[in-house]
Amino acid sequence: MRLSALFPLAAVASLTTLAGLTTRPVQAAVPTTLAVTGALQASGGIAADGDYIMSFGLYDKDKGGTALWQEGPLLVVAKGGVFHIDLGAKTPVQAAMLASAPQIWLSVSVGSDAELPRKPLHSVAFSLRAAAAEALDCSGCVGAAHLDPKALQGYVKSGDLQGFAQKSELGDYVKAAALAKVAGSGAYKDLIDPPKFADVASTGQYADLQGLPTAIKLGTACGTGLVMRGIKVDGSYDCVAGFDPSALPVDALGQVSNGLLTNQFTEVTTSAKVPLDIPDGLVTGVSDALTVADFGTTQGLSVTVDISNSDISKLKVTLFDPGGVNYILHNLSGTGTALKATWPSPDKVAQGDLSVWKTKNPKGVWSITVVDASGTIGKSDGKLLSWSIAVKTVSGSKVAATGGLQLVNATTPPVACTALNFGVLYANPTDKAIYACNGKTWVAWYLNPVGTQENPGLSCKDVLIKSPLSKDGLYWIAPAGQASMEAYCDMTTDGGGWTLVSSVHEDNIADKCGDGDKWSSTTGNNINSPKGDGNWENTSLFGTVDSATKGDYKASAYFALSASNVMLWHVPNGTAVAEWRGAALLRYYTSTNFLNGLGGSLYTLFKNNFPNGFGGNCGTTGPAVAINYDKGSNALVDSLISPNAVTESDPGFIHFRVYNNEKASYAVCTGIKYTGCNSEHACLGSSGWAPEGAPKQCGDFAGWDWDGYGTGAGWSATKAMTEAAVLFFVR
């Protein structure tokens, strides 16, 4: 505790009333102690009751110097702020020391605090000199002869005494009855006209002291809507109005946000009718109008024009506000052929005051008239190229960040997405996405766009879900358990989300089951290899996505993606990726979710349900699934396949694993359900062994050229059909 005032008890009291000799009978030895009484006060008022460590000293100066006497530290008890102590109990106060200086000063310090201002000692303390008188023990040893007569001058001689002093009678003495009452009682109350003492002399209460230091007025309050700013000199609270948000100016957002946010905007309305010719010499000139929307109260308004003319000093430009008040912006002044100006700043309005629109709402129709005072009527050498009105507003409905805006980072939603939390945003550092609540679910905006190598999707459908504006093209996906890969995605057909998993391309139809026939056999027509390469039902990979129309292609998505439907595109060989959709002869897809019951992929359809290989009978087939055309028709399909095959098939289907007369199987009949027994002429992907001679039934497109390459006659398909790769998509 820091004690700000300790001694003396009252500012008006002298030390003689606080520090003095302890009274003793006259005949007793003169004591060597001083009784001291003082008051302790802390910064908040009277010091708390309790024990305090204090030190005392006597000096011959009010400041500095060396102590003549010291005592302490001593344990001092304070109550009600007042303490009492006898000094000299441990270290006696010597009379010789007191006599050594003309004035003695008392020093007091509390605990480790600095010494308090010293106080002078008065006559009481100097009564210690009586001890010297007691040291004289020689009764009768000093006679009159020992005294200098001059020293006795002024003393009363016996001859000067009254008679009663020279006689033994008492008649001349004052009688007791003549004495005042106090002479007999010695009581203070019996004094006549006693002196008036301060109240503290009789009560001993701190509160009765005069000249007290100011104390804080505890237990008071500032009042409603006020807060304490500090303490006044009289100890009362210095109260001010608390923060009231409504007291802020409407444009204070920039100040309170340290310049990071603003609700101040400049809304510009520009004429859509310009440029306009300015007729020469007509007082009506050319006029144009625009409508300023309701932007609310403005902080200012400006008008900008761009005019070309043979001489701008011949131009007069007048603006009309929604109330019909006109402002002459430019009046037959200036030089040159171009007038590009903004009023009222930096250019000055020739006549009128646009500043009146500050704090008003400028909504409504504003118009401008430009007059060219010179030239030949009927001609024009000037144009009103553009003009606009800019309104500076303080918005109550939107705010802009002028610095970076940091969203909360979380790997899970910070709140539930409900109607009450519509519009809540957070950033997910794991997904590299910003999520927004649409009132029902969280919608992601991917910062590393989904479908990139850094953030591959699970499938094309996954990419589309996470990035709904995705277009057709190449994306990166990582099917479950597979390395990321580049895939072509159709984001358009039937809502999009189709993943290209394979393509069948006939590189040389004359080379039956040759090196390029990966969807049949690359080792020739071989009775010892009835399944051929078996790629319809294994996990082998070949080709690349960007060359899917230039060679056979199979991606891990063929067996790794779980899907419900299939889509086929017939795209001319060698077509570039970007042109696939537009160049396709046919685009068709299933919508019956048939793969759900067959394992969820083309891989499981063949491996677990309808394996492709030699040995079956005509009429033994896999599923024939109805199709929907995205491009093409049944008639177009019939026109592209061999005429004889048309008589043995129904268009509008995809037919899987169909056997022919010779017990060879064909994996897929594209666009048709094959009802006859000569499926080698219209279906693709033969088994590894087809017994009919030449051989002419083994290969990716097998017997499509039976009656000549691309003739479109008999059992031969058209050239367009033969020279188009078949692209397989799943979703």
Q: What are phi and psi of 319, to 5 degrees?
A: -110, 140
How far, in Å, are 15, 106, 230, 487 from residue 605 at the CA level? 116, 112, 85, 22
Within 8 A by CB and 6+ apart from 187, the residues are: none
Residue with tokens 């006679």: 143
Q: What own/partner pairs with CB < 8 Å and gap ≥ 24 does 602-606 have?
A: 602/501, 602/502, 602/536, 602/558, 602/566, 602/728, 602/730, 603/536, 603/537, 603/539, 603/558, 603/559, 604/559, 605/656, 606/536, 606/537, 606/656, 606/657, 606/667
Residue 25's pLDDT is 36
pTM of the shown model: 0.50
Q: What is the pLDDT of residue 12?
A: 28
Q: How many CB atoms lie within 10 A of CB 29?
A: 10
CA 611/CA 174 separation, integer angstroms: 157
Residue recorded with tokens 């009919």? 692
Peptide bond before residue 346 is cis, with ω within 30 degrees of 0:
yes
Q: What is the residue-averaged pLDDT of the chain?
A: 87
Q: What is the pLDDT of residue 11?
A: 30
Task: Indicate the helix (H) or strand (E) that contains 720.
Answer: helix 719-722
Is residue 272 within 8 Å of residue 291, measured between CB atoms? no
Q: What pLDDT, on the 0 to 100 scale, is given for residue 14?
A: 31
Q: For the chain, how many helices (H) and strands (E)? A: 14, 40
CA distance 307 to 318: 13
**How far, in Å, CA of 225 to CA of 525, rounded?**
98
Rg of the chain over all Cα atoms, to the nearest angstrom:
58
Decide if pLDDT at 570 tops 50. yes
Given a contact cutoff of 8 angstroms between Cβ atoms, the answer to whether 517 and 525 are in contact is no
Domains and their CATH numbers in the chain: 3-133 (2.60.40), 262-400 (2.60.120.260), 406-446 (no CATH), 460-527+538-597 (3.90.215), 609-721 (no CATH)
Report the distance separating Cα 201 and Cα 160, nearest Å: 45
- Find the farthest-apart pair of alpha carbons in the chain and give their distance in angstroms, rounded: 188
C-beta separation of 162 from 150 below 8 A: no
What is the tens place of the pLDDT at every residue in 19-63? 333 333 334 455 678 888 888 887 777 888 999 999 999 999 999
Whether 382 contacts 314, CB under 8 Å: no
Three-class secondary structure of residue 371 per DSSP: strand
| Residue range 693-698: mean pLDDT, rounded | 74
Which pLDDT value is given to residue 251? 67
Contact between residue 495 and residue 564 where contact means Cβ atoms under 8 Å apart: no
Share of the chain above pLDDT 90, in %: 61
Q: What is the pLDDT of residue 318?
A: 98
Residue with tokens 């500090």: 230
Q: Do residues 572 and 613 lie in contact, with contact meaning Cβ atoms separated by under 8 Å?
A: no
For residue 260 the two structure tokens come to 């990071």
DSSP codes joined into one string, 13-55: --GGGTEEEPP--TTSPPP--EEEEEE-EETTEEPPSEEEEEE
Give the whole-angstrom CA distance, residue 609 versus residue 629. Answer: 27
List Cβ neighbours of 467 (8 Å cut-off, separation of 6 or more).
Answer: 446, 449, 450, 451
d(CA 202, CA 185): 20
> How do residues 103-151 score in pLDDT, each as one tens digit?
999 999 998 888 989 988 876 555 555 555 555 555 666 666 666 767 6
The mean per-residue pLDDT over the stretch 264-272 comes to 93
Dist CA 702 CA 684 (whole Å): 7
Sequence letter at residue 396: G
Which is nearest to 658 in space by CA: 628, 679, 641, 644? 679
- Element at 625 (helix H, strand E): strand 624-626
Provide mean pLDDT across the span 597-604: 98
**pLDDT score at 152:** 63
Q: What is the pLDDT of residue 684?
A: 96
pLDDT digits (tens, 9 = 90+) for 205-220: 877 777 777 777 777 8
The pLDDT score that the predictor gives to residue 167 is 64
Q: Please return the burial class of 282, using the count of CB atoms within 10 Å of its CB with bins 0-12, 13-18 and 19+.
A: middle
Tokens of 105: 């000063």
